[in-house]
Structure 1
Amino acid sequence: MKCSRKYQFILVLILLLITSVKSEAALPAFRIALVDSTYFSNKNLKKDMPTLFIYFSPTCEECAALTTSLIALGDKLSTLQIVMITNESLQSVKRFVDQYQLRTYKNIAVGTEGLTGKFLQNNPVQKLPYMAFYNEQGVCIQDYNSTMTVNDFLQKCLIP
C-alpha cells in the first residue's frame, strides 16, 4: 500500500511538471494597451494564421525603417497578423501609429506593455527592432538577429 501511494505521488509530480513546461508551439504571452484604450493579448490572436511579433521603440530609427518596409509590402501582409509591442508610453505609441497610419491595417495591433515587461521577460530581445515569426501552428520558425538585414528577414518569412 505504501509503494502504490509513493508511485501515485511521483505520477502526480510528473504530470504537474509536464503541464507546467512551456510548449514550443505556444505563442508568447503578452498583453498590450492599444491607442483606442482597449487591450489586446495572445487570446485575441486568430488561430491558424501566421503571426509576426515586433518589439520596437517609437523613437528607434531602425524601427521606423522596418515599419516603412512593412507598409511597402502592402497586400503581402494581409495573410498574417502583426503585433507591435513596446514598453514606452501610450502617447508615444499613438504618435507612431498616426505617423505611419497603422490604424488602416486591420491585421496590425500596436500597443504598449508598459512596465509589466511580460513579452521582454519571455523573449530574447537584445536589440531593437526584435522580430519573431510564428507559423500557423504557433511555432517560432525565425527570429531576427543582426546577422541579416531586415529586408532579408521579411523576405525569408513573409514572401513565399
Structure 2
Amino acid sequence: MKQLLLLFVLGLASCAQVPDAADMPKDPKALPPIILLKGDTVSKYSTDSLAKGRPTLLYYYGPACLPCDTLTQKMLAAIDTLKDVNIFFLSAGSFHDVKLYEKKYGMEKFPNVQLGLDYNNTFFRYYGGQAYPLLVFYDKERQIKRANLGSLPIDTIRAIIDK
C-alpha cells in the first residue's frame, strides 16, 4: 500500500508545470517580462512599460498576509523616499482581492506604483514565490541585485536600492 501511495505521489509530482525554456530570459539576471492584469480585469501593465533608467522593486504580496499589509503601509507612508523607484506589486490572488488591496491603499495615486494580478504566474515561474512578502530588487539597468523573503525596514530597502 505504501508503495502504491509513493507511486501516486511521484506521478503527481511529475505533472507539475515546468517553465518552458523559451519562456526563460536570455539573461537570467535581467528583469523578466511580467504582465499584470489590473483590478478592473481589463487593463494590463507590463514590466516592459516601467520607466527606464530607474531601479525597480518587484513586491510579491498576499492579500491576506499581515506582514505584507504592514510592509505596504510602511512603504506608502515613506513613498517620498521611494519616488524614484518603479514599484511593481504582484499578487497571485483573485481579481477581487487585487481590487480590494488597490482601493484599501489608494495605489492609483502613486505614479511610480503598479499593482495587479500576475495572471500568467510569470513571477512564480521565475522566482518560485511560495511565501510572502517576497521582494526582488533590480538596478537602473534592469539587472537583479537581490531577492529577499520577508519584510524589511524602509531604510534597508532604500540602502539596497542605492547600493
Please list, as runs of the form range in 1=range in 2, the aligned pairs for 1:11-90 lying within 5 A after superposition.
Answer: 22-36=26-40, 37-90=42-95
Q: CA deviation at 1:21?
A: 6.5
CA distance in structure 1 between the partners assigned to 2:148 and 2:81 by the alignment:
19
Report if the CA contact (8 A) 2:132-2:149 is conserved: no
Show structure 1 runs of 5+ residues with no match.
1-19
Q: Aligned residue for 2:10? A: none
Q: CA deviation at 1:91?
A: 1.3
Q: In structure 1, the residue corresponding to 2:140 is in which secondary structure?
A: coil
CA distance in structure 2 between the partners assigned to 1:81 and 1:53 by the alignment:
8
CA distance in structure 1 between the partners assigned to 2:25 and 2:43 by the alignment:
30
1:118 aligns with 2:122: yes
CA distance in structure 1 between the partners assigned to 2:113 and 2:34 by the alignment:
15
Q: CA deviation at 1:34?
A: 0.8
Q: CA deviation at 1:153?
A: 4.0
Show structure 2 runs of 5+ residues with no match.
1-23
CA distance in structure 2 between the partners assigned to 1:108 and 1:51 by the alignment:
10
Equivalent of 1:150, from 142, 145, 152? 152
Report if the CA contact (8 A) 1:85-1:111 is conserved: yes
CA distance in structure 2 between the partners assigned to 1:107 and 1:144 by the alignment:
21
CA distance in structure 2 between the partners assigned to 1:22 and 1:124 by the alignment:
18
CA distance in structure 1 between the partners assigned to 2:84 and 2:123 by the alignment:
23
Q: Aligned residue for 1:130? A: 134
Q: CA deviation at 1:49?
A: 1.0
Report if the CA contact (8 A) 1:54-1:131 is conserved: yes
Report if the CA contact (8 A) 2:98-2:117 is conserved: yes
CA distance in structure 2 between the partners assigned to 1:138 and 1:41 by the alignment:
14
CA distance in structure 2 between the partners assigned to 1:69 and 1:60 by the alignment:
14
One-letter code of the match for 1:50? P
CA distance in structure 2 between the partners assigned to 1:78 and 1:60 by the alignment:
24
Q: Structure 1 stretch 70-79 or stretch 20-29: which is displaced more? A: 20-29
Task: Report the TM-score when normalising by structure 1.
Answer: 0.78
Q: Aligned residue for 1:94? A: 99
Q: CA RMSD in A?
A: 2.2
Report if the CA contact (8 A) 1:76-1:158 is conserved: no
One-letter code of the match for 1:157? I
CA distance in structure 1 between the partners assigned to 2:162 and 2:70 by the alignment:
18
